[in-house]
Amino acid sequence: AQSVTQLGSHVSVSEGALVLLRCNYSSSVPPYLFWYVQYPNQGLQLLLKYTSAATLVKGINGFEAEFKKSETSFHLTKPSAHMSDAAEYFCAVNKAGTASKLTFGTGTRLQVTL
C-alpha cells in the first residue's frame, strides 16, 4: 500500500519569500512521486515528478523537489513566491511503473500575501 501525507493544509507566505510545502510518503515498493497544482475550478497541472532518476527534480514555474529516501520525503520548494503561485498543491504517489493509480495527499493551500 502507498500513501502520502502533506503537512499543513494551509501555508501562507509573503511575496518573494521561500515556499516550502511538505510531503512524506509511505510505500512498500519503489515509488514514483508527483506534485500537482490546482487553480480554482480547474483540473490538475503537473509541476514535477520523481521517477527514480535524479533525486533533485526541477519543474515548471520555478518549483523543485528533492527525493530523500532516508526521510521518506518529497518536499516542494520555490525560492521566491509570486502572487500567481496561490493555489492548491497536491502530492501524489504511485508504484514505479506504468499507468498505475495515483494516491493523493490531502492537499495544501498556498496563500501568497503582499
Nearest to 12 by CA among 107, 91, 86: 86
Q: Tell me the three cell numbers of residue 27.
A: 510505500
Q: Determine the size of the site formed for another protein (CB under 8 A).
A: 24
Q: What are the residues whose beta carbons fall under 8 Å from the beta carbon of 91, sequence distance 6 or more? A: 4, 6, 21, 23, 25, 33, 34, 35, 74, 76, 104, 105
| Least separation in angstroms between CB 85 and another protein | 19
Q: How far is the CB of 80 from another protein (least distance, A)?
A: 27
In this chain, which of 7, 17, 44, 86 binds another protein, going by CB under 8 A?
Answer: 44
Q: Which is nearer to another protein, 43 or 114 (CB)?
A: 43
Give the DSSP letter of residue 62. G
51 binds another protein (CB under 8 A): yes
Give residues in contact with another protein (CB under 8 A): 32, 34, 36, 41-46, 49, 51, 90, 94, 96-99, 101-107
